[in-house]
Amino acid sequence: MSTAIDSIRHTCRMMIWSWRFIATWRKSYIGCSLISMLQNAWMSITSAYLIGQTTAHAATGNFEAMLQTIGAVAVIVMLGMIVMTAVNYKAAAIKVLGLAQIRKALFAKLSAIPAAKADSHLSGDMSTRLSMDAERTADFFGSMMTGDRSLAAIPVSILISTVICIVSQPLIGLMNLLFGLISIYANLACIRREYKWLTKRMGIMSTLTQRMLDMISGIVVVRMFGLTRHLQAKYEVDSSSVYSHALRGARYNALRSSSSSAIQWGAIILTLVAGSLFVYKGVTDLGTVVFIVLLQSQINNDVLLMTNCYRQLQYATISAVRVKEVLDLPDEQIREQTVQPDPTAENAIDMRAVSVTYESDLPVIKEMSLRVRNGEKLAIVGRSGGGKTTLVKYIMELVEADAGSIRLYGHPRERYSQETVRALIAYVPQNSYLFDGTIQDNIAWGNPGASDYDIRKAINEAGLREVIDRFPDGLNTRVGESGSQLSGGQRQRIAIARAMVKNAPLLLLDEATSALDGESEELIQQALDRLMEGRTAIVIAHRLSTIRNADRILVMENGEVVEEGNHSYLLAHSVRYAQLYRLQYA
């Protein structure tokens, strides 16, 4: 019993927590709940009483009184329908508004957490929390809580009906109270056991969502590598787990329904037997017995409805916990800006003894010191896993260092706000992300305040004009999800145009041409050369032909710089760079 009480307390805590999303409409919410309580109790008791009186009048042959009573019942039902139509509409509106607030809060949180934290969450799991879990959390303040058959109204109706039963006929009323308590206990016991399997099932649902996203996003890889059956097998395993957990939960739900029905009919039969004896002995009349039987039936139905609502609240509780886990993630610590970047500073970047370690406890960057002169073109090469991308992420403040410091344009980075740091940097990765919009939209994201002239200039310098002219809709051509309607070269040129529009002084290129064919690479390289003019640039390169003209080249291995110089010097005097060059051009 204590476990059931703990479960109820947990549900209540999550319910109270969720009410923050309807703070603006809290008075309306409370008003709907109060009206639901009063209307439900009034309708149930008055209708039962009048039906009992109708039966009594029919038994005595008083048809005029019977017709008057039937008319009163009709009026009460019509009034109740009018009132509850308005209440249910308001309750639905509050749920929709509350759901919008939940999703707005989740979206705001995703934009506020550190990028590294967002990367650690699978997109399928996060999608489930943003959609299904948000929807179910809103059940806390939906019609289930404010409707005419809601948790706000049903307990009041049960209490008042039970008191009236006891007052009308104490023995029958107390007997019905006992049956009601047994029914509540049996229902809660079943729900508690069902809750365990429900929690497991909802956790696996996120995995199923991720499987579907993998199938959709990676459809080309799936088909070309013959992974369809493999992914289907994984999906079927997870789906079987969901089915197994759902089946076990359904077992307890079926037991709950059947036990409630058995208890309900047992109470009604005993009430009819006892009531018949009392009528026979003249203790009470037929109308009172019918009234009590109807009340008893209503109480039993209300108990079942209440436990059904509570069961739905278990779904809402689990989802609210998952929503709360996201909203409780720590925000990125916003820094106050105390200085302005110095565009005339000798060094654009000055790193000193920087070390970065991931969860494996193995340092990815080892006490690295690096100075990049203002306007310098610096290239970084090396085998995979050497720390090149981590270095770029550290400069962009996407990973934290265990030790060391960095200065940007003459000042420590921590003296700038994050917004200023990001305004200083334009980034073009190997696989540039495009938003599901038009070509113009994706270019303009580089600088939402860019003029049409700036966008046209970026298009021309990125070599996009010829590409755009091929499309019937030109700049208004939709690129599809992640740019799926475009080729790799077209996506990269849009990303370069986006970086040009941003017009940042520091450019970071992370293998921006490595995934392209020779012809596309040459076109993209020309666009990148135009992009780097007048800017400080750090270029991570796989193909050494793209960095021959770099002012300086670093060779990284195991998080350290092992060789340094320009192309000619390294080719003549180095070991690793020369080896990499021979591997590509021998």
pLDDT by residue (tens digit) across 117-175?
666 555 667 777 877 888 888 888 765 566 556 676 777 777 877 887 787 778 877 88
Strands 552-557 and 377-381: parallel
By three-state DSSP, how is residue 406 classified? strand
Residue type at 446?
G
Domain residue extents for the chain: 1-328, 347-584
Inter-residue contact 463 to 414 (CB < 8 Å): no
Strongest mean pLDDT among 86-100, 113-127, 151-165, 410-424: 410-424
Q: Cβ(455)–Cβ(443) under 8 Å?
A: yes
For 261-293, what is each residue's pLDDT tens digit?
787 788 778 877 887 888 777 777 777 777 777
**Least-confidence region, from 133-142, 191-200, 304-313, 430-439:** 191-200
Which tokens sit at 318?
Answer: 């689990």
425 forms bridges with which residues in the sheet? Answer: 506
Residue 119 contacts by C-beta under 8 Å, 6 or more apart in sequence? none
CB 472 within 8 A of CB 485: no
Task: Please list, residue by residue across 364-389, b when 16 or more beta carbons sit within 10 angstroms of its beta carbon and e when fewer do.
Answer: bbbebebebbbebbbbbbbeeebbbb
Beta-strand (E) ranges in 333-402?
A: 347-357, 363-373, 377-381
Query: Can you give the pTM of this predicted structure?
Result: 0.70
C-alpha distances out from residue 280 to 171, 269, 274, Å = 16, 16, 10
Q: In residues, how long is the chain?
A: 586
Query: Can you count the helices (H) and strands (E) in the chain?
Result: 21, 10
- The pLDDT assigned to 377 comes to 94
Query: What would you measure as the largest C-alpha separation in the chain, in angstroms?
Result: 119
Strand partners, 438: 478
Which residue in 470, 475, 464 sits closest to 440, CA to CA?
475
**Over 70: is that where the pLDDT of 541 sits?**
yes
Contact 379, 539 (CB under 8 A): yes
Contact 483, 514 (CB under 8 A): no
More confident residue, 357 or 77: 357
Residues contacting residue 60 through CB under 8 Å, at least 6 positions apart: none
Res 527: pLDDT: 77
CATH number belonging to the domain at 347-584, selected among 1.20.120.160, 3.30.365.10, 1.10.150.120, 3.40.50.300? 3.40.50.300
Per-residue pLDDT reduced to its tens digit, 327-351: 998 888 888 889 999 999 999 999 9
Taking the CA atoms of 342, 348, 353 and 359 in sequence, report the sign of the dihedral they define: positive
Residue 173, token pair as written in the block: 């009323």
Residues 24 and 537: their CA atoms lie apart, in Å, by 50
How far apart are the C-alpha atoms of 115 and 396, rounded to whole Å?
11
Q: SS in 3 state form for 454-481?
A: HHHHHHHHCCCHHHHHHCCCHHHCECCH
**What is d(CA 569, CA 450) in angstroms, rounded to the nearest whole number?**
42
Going by C-beta distance under 8 Å and a sequence separation of 6 or more, which residues neighbour residue 275?
169, 172, 284, 288, 289, 292, 293
pLDDT tens digits for range 434-470: 888 888 888 888 888 888 888 888 888 888 888 888 8
Fold of the domain built from segment(s) 1-328: ABC transporter transmembrane region fold (1.20.1560)
Dihedrals phi, psi of 350, to nearest 5 degrees: -140, 100
Task: Tell me what percent of the residues of the chain surpass a pLDDT of 90.
Answer: 15
Which residue is listed with tokens 């690295």?
Answer: 368
DSSP 3-state of 425: strand
331-355: string of b/e by CB count within 10 Å (b at 16+)? Answer: eeeeeeeeeebeeebebbbbbeebe
